Amino acid sequence: MPELPEVESARSVIERAALGRLIVDVDDTDSYVCRPHPPGEIRAALVGRRLAAAHRRGKSLWCDTSDVGAVLGIHLGMSGKIVIADADGGEIDGGDYWEGRRVAGDYRWSRFALTFDDGGRMMLVDPRRLGRITLDPPVDRLGPDAAIITPAAFRAALTGGTAPVKARLLDQRALAGIGNLLADEILWRARVHPAQPVDELTAREVGKLLRATREAVAAALSDGGVHTLTVIPFRHAGALCPRDRAPMAKGTVGGRTTWWCSAEQVLG
């Protein structure tokens, strides 16, 4: 599932390969992915314009369009990926985080597409069809982006209430961009139990969580996504912690399946 690093990869693909190209057609006929817009509404807003800039905050991605046109909001959902295909068959996509890797040229699951005047296309390819395309999406309800959050903002995000720390890390209004896998990696790196209530975290633990967040996001960005992170391959029954060989423990925290080291991450 795309988290901050995967969405950043999609944003950077758009920035490198789609900005400034004249949009001559739009396939917005998937009325589920494009809800609440009726077919033709997004098309009418985009044809004749160009994507002018690509922005990201947390897991939300949006593009400005030329001449102060509508803003194109793109949510990758559970399995979405941005693919830009050129008329000559060349292709650039947002990284390989799919199980059973898609073969280049396979656009069976294209749910939304822009066609440019040179015949190239930008597609949302999404097997599970849980992505979302909207005009003028609200982004101000999101918290600060986890990749660039300041220490003061991070402390503020982890302050208030008694939520388990993992639930707070997943709360996109507190801190934007962290999903289930990134949260488990951050807590493991910081040696903090996922169910520790935020009001019981020490200043030292908050500092370790901030460092772990920065390191995990940077590592996932440089290595191709959250599936490359250190503890992710050890989130299964019978696995041992890659740091101290203690058994990995499993539970549900913040409504999500959670794995942690039974020896290093203890409630305190």
Least Cβ distance, residue 244 to Zn ion (angstroms)? 4
CA-nearest of 114, 87, 84, 83 to 98 is 83
**CA dist 229 to 4, 56, 168, Å?**
13, 21, 21
Q: Which of 64, 86, 215, 264 binds Zn ion (CB under 5 A)?
A: 264
Binding status of residue 155 toward Zn ion by CB under 5 A: no
Q: Which of 25, 40, 244, 268 binds Zn ion (CB under 5 A)?
A: 244
Could you give phi then psi for residue 63, rounded to 5 degrees?
-125, 130
Binding status of residue 186 toward Zn ion by CB under 5 A: no
Least Cβ distance, residue 201 to Zn ion (angstroms)? 19
Binding status of residue 243 toward Zn ion by CB under 5 A: yes
Which is nearer to Zn ion, 186 or 241 (by Cβ)?
241
Binding status of residue 241 toward Zn ion by CB under 5 A: yes
Binding status of residue 261 toward Zn ion by CB under 5 A: yes
Which is nearer to Zn ion, 87 or 266 (by Cβ)?
266
Least Cβ distance, residue 229 to Zn ion (angstroms)? 15
Which residues, in sequence order, are bridge partners of residue 115? 25, 121
**CA dist 239 to 1, 103, 143, 186, Å?**
22, 31, 34, 18
Note the Cα 265 to chain centre separation in Å. 26
Peptide bond just before 36 cis, omega within 30 deg: yes
Binding site for Zn ion (CB under 5 A): 241, 243-244, 246, 261, 264
